[in-house]
Each structure stands twice: as structure tokens, then as C-alpha cells.
């Protein structure tokens, strides 16, 4: 069987909706280059007006934190409760702050 | 990740992807013969959606470290399985109604459950697919409504489609729990969150009232409301037929496979053109940089 798309990278697709502030990851696809990745992303991931802006990133460019390192990476923040507004007592007379 | 978990997910997700892609064929059959423009655009959009669903699922499978070309190769060589419901022929326009209503209905029951599956990329694909799938079922039910409320001939056509698609739709949920080889392990790993029989019961209880609303008869003489269990008792499924179709002896197995192979071969020029265009653009960019 022919393998003409052996060089087709996997691209991660991010879409920002009309009222959205950030691009959201919606999935991935194969394409031979970035421009065609955008066109394919438009065809597959915006059929229902999901967005007005597309980013495509080669999968290989994404580095993910390791699930095994969840504890050392994220537990240091867990006990720093003073970073949250609820740690601070504001008198009721002040109203909302 | 345990190797067995990875392997079973690759098998399940790729089979699901193959089912979407092969599933385009029975309905694509009627696009050129849709009775109105509204029906035609809806059916075309549904079939396009199925291609997209296949894509989401192949992409999810690839996150487990398997190559897309290997998955596609396994389908085209006949090695890989896909849902046996798609090995049945679509003999009338009413089949478009029955498929959207029953086959997509059964798929939705399974897919809603899978939105909570333990593997993230698979669950996320399911969430997206479920959103899109409800249009498919509504499209099918609308067709059934039109036919059931039409001429006597149209109503008979709808009844005939229901007669042919009811039992195969129930078989979509797989063997009974006690005879399902993969189920126990899948439930333990939280890949599967509800059993085959549970989902099948859910589907029947939801769908029978829909058939009654259409004024059609479900082709099961043993179908009966059970007040105690608050659900329907139903007749024996013909498991011989099920295993026969799974084995490859269904009415359309050979045709489905040859159609897929043909589509792949006839589509080679598109892949080649895309590669040629990419190469041309890359060269154009490189030349521009050099000239600057």
C-alpha cells in the first residue's frame, strides 16, 4: 500500500471562539505543512462556527509535564493559602473588595 | 500505563474510528436520491460529520503511540474489526430515517457513557462526538415522522425499515454481559462505565415510546412493559446472526471493504497533490529567503 503521507506531521489544533479570550485545544490532525493544517482544521473543527481564530502547532513542539511528577510540581502551591483572596478578612462595612 | 490497558484501548478506539468511516458508506448510498434538498443537505452533513468523527478517534488512538498508516492498513487489509451494524444494506430511503434514529441512537447511548471513560483523549473525543451526534438522531427521527405521517405506502416503508434495523441495533451493544470476553477487564479499568446489557436496556426503554409515537410496531412479539423493573422485557436476540456477521458473513461485509479500498486507492492523487503543493510552497519560501 502506498504511504505518501509518511511525512505528514501531527498538528495540535487550538481554536478561539468569537467571544472567547483564549485558544482552546480541540484535537489534532495530520497535514503536510502548516498552511494545510490550518485549512484542514477549519474543515474539521469549525463546522459549527466554533471559532474565528485557529492555531496549529506541530505535536512534537509540545512538551507536557509528566503525570509521575504531579506531586513535586504542584503540591508546593497547595499550602500557600495566603495567595487566595479568601485568606484575608475584610470588614462587612467595606462591602465587596 | 499497563501494556494491556494500552493494547485494549488501541483496539477499542481504532475499531470505533473504523466504524465511523465505514459507517459513511450505507448512508452515502442515498445522498443522490434524497427526496428533497433539505434532506440532501442534512444527509450530506451527517456523512461528513462521520468522517470527522473517524478523524477524532484515529487521533485519539495515535496518542497511544500507534501509527495512523498502521491503523488504516489494518482496516483495508480486513484485519481490523468495525461495528457489524454497517454490514447491512440500505435498501430504501426509509433506512436513512431508521439508521439516524436507531443506529445513531444506540451509538449515542454508548458514547454518552464513554464520555466518562478513564482515558482522557478518548473521553474528550466522545464529548465532541456526542454534541454532533444528536443532530444525526434528530435528522433520522424527522425522516421517520414524515414517512409515518405520510401516505400508507410511506408508512409501510417506515415500518419495513424499523423491522429490518431494530434487532441489528440491539446487537450493537455486543454480547450479553455473561458472554462478553472483554467487558470485565474494561469495567475494572474504568474504560467501560456501564455494561452491555445495561446500555441495551437503556436504549430499548428510551426508544419504544418513540416508536409508539410514530404509530409503528417494534418487531418483537415478546416486548412487554415490566412494571416491577420499570423497563421493557424483550425477546431473544438471534446471536447466531450476530456472530455470523462479525465473522464476515454479513450481507455487505465484502462490499464495504472493497469500497473502502477503492476510496483509498482513488484518493491517492489527493494525497500526492497535497505533498506536491507542500513541496512547492516550501521551495517558494526558501527561494524568497535566499533572494532577500
Question: Over the stretch B83-117, which tens digit does the pLDDT of each residue have?
Answer: 999 999 999 999 999 999 999 999 999 999 999 99
CB atoms within 10 A of CB B115: 16
Q: Is the ipTM of this complex over 0.90?
A: no
Find chain A residues with C-beta within 8 A of B264's C-beta.
Answer: 1
Reported residue count of chain A is 97
Å between B126 CA and nearest CA of chain A: 12
**Chain A residues touching B281 at Cβ < 8 A:** 33, 35
The pLDDT tens digits of the residues spanning A20-74 come to: 999 999 999 999 999 999 999 999 999 999 999 999 999 999 999 999 999 999 9
Report how far residue A82's alpha carbon sits from residue A86's, in angstroms, rounded to the nearest whole number.
8
CATH class label, A9-94: alpha beta
With an 8 Å Cβ cutoff, the interface of chain B facing chain A consists of 48-49, 52, 55-56, 59, 62, 68-69, 73, 76, 124-125, 128, 132, 264, 268, 271-272, 274-275, 277-278, 281-282
Q: Which residues contact B242 (CB under 8 A, 6 or more apart)?
A: B84, B171, B175
Contact A41, A29 (CB under 8 A): yes
Contact B140, B147 (CB under 8 A): no
Q: How many CB atoms lie within 10 A of CB A82?
A: 7
pLDDT value at residue A54: 98
Q: State the Cα–Cα distance between residues B107 and B113, nearest whole angstrom.
A: 10
Name A56's bridge partners.
Answer: A13
Q: With residue B185 as reference, give the H or E element that holds it.
A: helix B183-188
Residue in B48, B272, B281 nearest the CB of A33: B281
CA atoms within 13 A on the CB side of A62: 17
> Crossing angle for the helix pair B196-214 and B120-148, nearest 10 degrees?
20
Q: Confirm whether pTM is higher than 0.90.
A: yes
Report whether A56 contacts A11 (CB < 8 A).
yes
The strand pairing partners of A9, in sequence order, are A31
CA dihedral B37, B43, B44, B49 (to 10 degrees): 150
Q: How far is CA B78 from the centre of its chain?
A: 18
Of A6, A27, A35, the CB nearest to B59: A27
User: Domain coordinates of chain A in residue numbers?
Assistant: 9-94
Give the closest-approach CA distance of B271 to chain A in angstroms: 7
* Per-window interface: A 22-41 vs B, CB < 8 A: 26-33, 35-36
Nearest residue on chain A to B272, alpha-carbon basis: A4
Closest CB to B52 among A1, A30, A44: A44
Task: Give me the half-sphere count of Cα atoms (radius 13 Å) on the Cβ side of residue A6.
Answer: 4
Q: What is the pLDDT of residue A1?
A: 47
* Residue (of A61, A46, A57, A45) closest to A11 by Cα position: A57
Nearest to A36 among B62, B68, B274 (CB): B274
DSSP letter, residue A70: H
The per-residue pLDDT for A2 is 53
Amino acid at each position: 500500500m502506498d504511504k505518501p503521507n509518511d511525512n505528514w506531521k501531527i498538528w495540535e489544533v487550538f481554536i478561539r471562539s468569537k467571544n472567547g479570550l483564549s485558544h482552546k485545544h480541540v484535537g489534532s490532525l495530520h497535514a503536510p505543512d502548516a498552511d494545510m493544517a490550518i485549512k484542514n482544521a477549519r474543515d474539521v473543527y469549525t463546522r459549527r462556527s466554533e471559532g474565528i481564530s485557529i492555531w496549529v502547532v506541530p505535536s512534537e513542539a509540545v512538551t507536557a509535564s509528566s503525570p509521575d511528577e504531579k506531586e513535586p510540581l504542584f503540591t508546593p502551591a497547595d499550602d500557600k493559602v495566603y495567595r487566595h483572596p479568601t485568606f484575608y478578612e475584610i470588614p462587612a462595612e467595606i462591602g465587596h473588595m | 500505563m499497563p501494556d494491556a490497558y494500552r493494547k485494549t484501548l488501541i483496539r477499542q478506539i481504532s475499531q470505533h474510528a473504523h466504524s465511523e468511516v465505514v459507517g459513511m458508506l450505507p448512508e452515502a448510498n442515498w445522498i443522490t436520491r434524497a427526496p428533497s434538498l433539505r434532506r440532501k443537505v442534512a444527509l450530506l452533513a451527517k456523512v461528513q460529520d462521520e468522517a470527522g468523527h473517524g478523524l477524532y478517534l484515529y487521533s485519539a488512538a495515535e496518542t497511544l503511540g500507534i501509527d495512523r498508516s498502521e491503523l488504516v492498513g489494518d482496516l483495508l487489509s480486513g484485519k481490523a474489526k468495525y461495528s457489524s451494524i454497517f454490514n447491512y444494506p440500505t435498501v430504501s430511503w426509509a433506512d436513512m430515517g431508521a439508521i439516524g434514529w436507531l443506529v445513531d441512537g444506540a451509538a449515542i447511548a454508548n458514547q454518552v457513557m464513554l464520555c466518562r471513560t478513564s482515558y482522557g483523549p478518548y473521553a474528550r473525543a466522545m464529548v465532541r462526538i456526542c454534541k454532533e451526534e444528536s443532530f444525526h438522531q434528530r435528522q433520522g427521527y424527522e425522516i421517520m415522522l414524515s414517512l409515518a405521517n405520510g401516505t400508507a405506502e410511506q408508512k409501510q416503508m417506515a415500518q419495513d425499515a424499523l423491522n429490518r434495523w431494530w434487532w441489528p441495533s440491539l446487537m450493537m451493544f455486543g454480547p450479553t454481559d455473561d458472554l462478553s470476553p472483554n467487558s470485565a477487564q474494561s469495567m475494572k479499568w474504568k474504560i467501560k462505565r456501564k455494561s452491555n446489557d445495561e446500555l441495551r436496556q437503556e436504549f430499548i426503554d428510551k426508544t419504544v415510546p418513540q416508536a409508539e409515537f410514530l404509530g409503528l410496531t417494534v418487531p418483537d412479539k415478546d416486548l412487554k412493559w415490566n412494571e416491577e423493573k420499570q423497563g421493557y422485557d424483550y425477546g431473544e436476540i438471534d446471536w447466531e446472526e450476530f456472530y455470523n456477521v462479525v465473522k464476515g458473513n454479513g450481507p455487505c461485509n465484502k462490499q464495504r471493504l472493497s469500497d473502502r479500498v477503492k476510496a483509498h486507492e482513488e484518493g491517492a492523487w489527493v494525497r500526492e497533490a497535497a505533498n506536491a503543493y507542500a513541496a512547492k510552497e516550501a521551495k517558494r519560501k526558501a527561494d524568497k529567503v535566499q533572494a532577500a
